[in-house]
Amino acid sequence: MFKDIISNEEAKSFLINELKSRREQGTYIFYGEDRELLMDFALAYAKALTCKNAENDFCGVCDSCIRMDSLTHGDLEIYEDSNGIKIDEIREIAYRVSTASYEGGNRIFILKDVEKMKKEAANALLKMIEEPEKGDFFILLANNLNILPTIKSRAMFLKIKMRSAEELGVSQEEYNFFLGKGKEILGYKETGIDLKLGEPYNEIGNFIKNYMAEPNIENKIKIYKSLRDFFTSRQYINEIDKLSFAENIYFAVENDRVLSQEICNYMCHLIKNFDRVENLITVKNMIKMPVNLKLLLKVFINEIY
């Protein structure tokens, strides 16, 4: 039920009012910094639109809600691409829209990272959301509103705020360690791990490899600790060891640009000098481009001093 979602009371009220209005179709842009929380709200609304038991809410226990949670519902479509959804995938959505609902009810299309879509794909999407078919709901997820203006003009906006340390039941220090990422914080609370016990920066490659093999919160914490160790020790690390640190990251991520960008983003949050952060963010944002990842990581790490 909506009341069970921690935080964002205004957002929950908005969605409940949308349900009460008996809207027959719609396009929404859910935006905010916490990607996992955006998805949580998108699935909550999808469940409410298809729930068999609850009115203006979702029960969480009916067959429809359970299949929504497991992402196996016949009328739920999720599209994502770390570099932006492509035109071919938009055409796939268009074909799906032209067919009948599998289960005879509302259909929900969730598109992630729409701010990364290229103009061609965005224009193709625009044709569908201008006049959605009855029963079709498009939920577009984005970190920011740097989206094609014509798409924004045809959607309703819902800002999903990051949950506070108090709402998540942790100290401000713990909250900052995870950059406020609610899902990671909730996972950490179940582990009993001591965040004050560090991990050596020269083991970063092994920590990343372990995380890629088993992406759990324990392995993620070791990566964070290792990055923090590098940051606090940076003034005493010579240039050769800095380059070695960057290479260890590069070989461990196996060209995974999403994880590479996440690692660089974490490092950016450790730096308090605005001018320095601005330069690092510029380099970090280039990671998603078709450029030499190894070189970018070396430049990024070398800029941290």
Token digits of residue 99: 């067919």
Residue 162 pLDDT class (50, 70, 90 cuts) = very high
Specify the pairing of strand 156-159 against strand 76-79. Answer: unpaired
Task: Spell out the alpha helix ranges (H) of 164-304.
Answer: 165-168, 172-177, 182-188, 204-213, 217-233, 239-253, 257-270, 274-285, 293-302
- Other beta carbons within 10 Å of 38: 23
Per-residue pLDDT for 75 more than 70? Answer: yes
The amino acid at residue 268 is C
pLDDT beyond 80 at 69: yes
Q: Assess whether pLDDT exceeds 70 at residue 275.
A: no
Angle at 117 between CA 100 and CA 90, to 5 degrees: 20
Q: What was the pLDDT predicted at 146?
A: 87
pLDDT over threshold 90, residue 292: no
For residue 23, pLDDT over 80 is answered with: yes
- The dihedrals phi and psi of 110, each to the nearest 5 degrees, come to -105, 120
Arithmetic mean of pLDDT over the chain: 91
Question: Is 70 exceeded by the pLDDT of residue 274?
Answer: no
pLDDT at 273: 65
Does residue 281 carry a pLDDT above 80? no
pLDDT for 242: 92
Q: Is the pLDDT of residue 305 over 80?
A: no
Given a cut of 70, whether residue 216 has pLDDT beyond it is: yes
User: Average pLDDT in the 23-44 region?
Assistant: 93
pLDDT at 67: 94
Residues in the chain: 305
pLDDT above 70 as % of the chain: 98
Q: Which residues have CB under 8 Å from 185's CB, separation 6+? A: 168, 170, 174, 175, 178
Which are the contacts of 88, defined by CB distance < 8 A and separation ≥ 6? none
Which range has the worst mean pLDDT, 14-18, 181-185, 263-267, 299-303? 299-303
Q: Is 42 helix (H, G, I), strand (E, B) or coil?
A: helix
